[in-house]
Amino acid sequence: MSRGDLLSIHPLELKFPFALRKQISCSLQLSNKTDNYVAFKVKTTNPKKFCVRPNAGVVLPRSTSDVIVTMQAQKEAPPDMNCRDKFLLQSVKVNDGITAKDITSELFNKEAGHVVEECKLKVVYLSPPQPPSPVHEGSEEGSSPRGSVSDNGHVNAAEFSTAAKAFNEQLEAQDLSPETRTHITKLTEEKKSALQQCNKIRHELELLKREGNKSGGGVSFMFVIIIGLLGIFMGYMMKKS
């Protein structure tokens, strides 16, 4: 806040939340702390870019007046969000009863012997708010539970059960029909069962591999069958996913 002898000005920085192709406004508050009428005038280095209303007026004794500064819509952002535009607010004591229509440039002419107070105001651009962080995959509301896969390729059924339970609780909280809930729950249970069967087949396959390595024989007919069953269950799981 500027604490001149005539007017207190707040703020000393005109802050504009910058946005492309959009008019943005901010306000100045002028407080007359004297027992006299005080006239003011606002000047800017870029009158085509900024509109000031009112750009001149009178602040009555022991009262305040608001000035609205509007920045016209901009087509492109300035480099580094820096603004070199500035404002100058001039104030001078005038005779009682004077009105805004009586204000002339001569009132602010220092060479004419008038005591003119001046206050320079900076323009500051505020960066637009950052967009929210993207939601990680699998955390979206309403997404189906997924079983995790361990390092050895086995599906973790315990983790899947936990996820399925949370998913069912989420379904109950949503406004779904009983038929829809029953159908989704059935599909979830079928997927869980398929995962368990897949793990069982993987385990049996590993046992056969170990026995084959010990005996040194070729691939058995049972081994081929198990490979086929494993492929069927994997295809089933992909469809349910």
Sorted by where each begins, the domain ranges of the chain are 7-126, 179-240
What are the Cα distances from residue 66, in Å, to 11, 27, 63, 69? Answer: 11, 7, 11, 10
Residue 154: pLDDT over 70: no
pLDDT: is 148 or 107 the higher one?
Answer: 107
Report, as an integer, the average pLDDT of 198-210.
76
**pLDDT attached to residue 204:** 76
**d(Cα 194, Cα 188) in Å, to the nearest integer?**
10
**pLDDT attached to residue 151:** 47
Residue 69: pLDDT over 80: yes
- Considering the chain, what is the average pLDDT of its residues? 80
Report, as an integer, the average pLDDT of 149-177.
58
**pLDDT attached to residue 93:** 95
**d(Cα 205, Cα 152) in Å, to the nearest integer?**
13
Strand-pairing partners, residue 64, are: 31
**d(Cα 222, Cα 121) in Å, to the nearest integer?**
87
* % of the chain at pLDDT higher than 70: 68
**pLDDT attached to residue 58:** 97
**pLDDT attached to residue 185:** 77
CATH architecture for segment(s) 7-126: Sandwich (2.60)
Q: Centre a 10 Å sphere on the Cβ of residue 31 and count the other Cβ atoms it contains.
A: 18
* Short-list 62, 77, 57, 52, CA closest to 31: 62
Residue 63: pLDDT over 90: yes
**pLDDT attached to residue 156:** 57
Q: Are 157 and 189 in contact (CB under 8 A)?
A: no
**d(Cα 167, Cα 185) in Å, to the nearest integer?**
9
**pLDDT attached to residue 202:** 77
Question: Two tokens at 223?
Answer: 């081994």
Residue 218: pLDDT over 60: no
**pLDDT attached to residue 186:** 79
Report, as an integer, the average pLDDT of 67-94.
93
C-alpha torsion angle, residues 37, 42, 43, 46 (rounded to 10): -170
**pLDDT attached to residue 105:** 92
Q: On the CB side of 62, how many CA atoms lie within 13 Å of its CA? A: 1
Confidence of residue 147 (pLDDT cuts 50, 70, 90): very low
Residues 92-121 have pLDDT tens digits of: 999 999 999 999 999 999 998 899 999 999
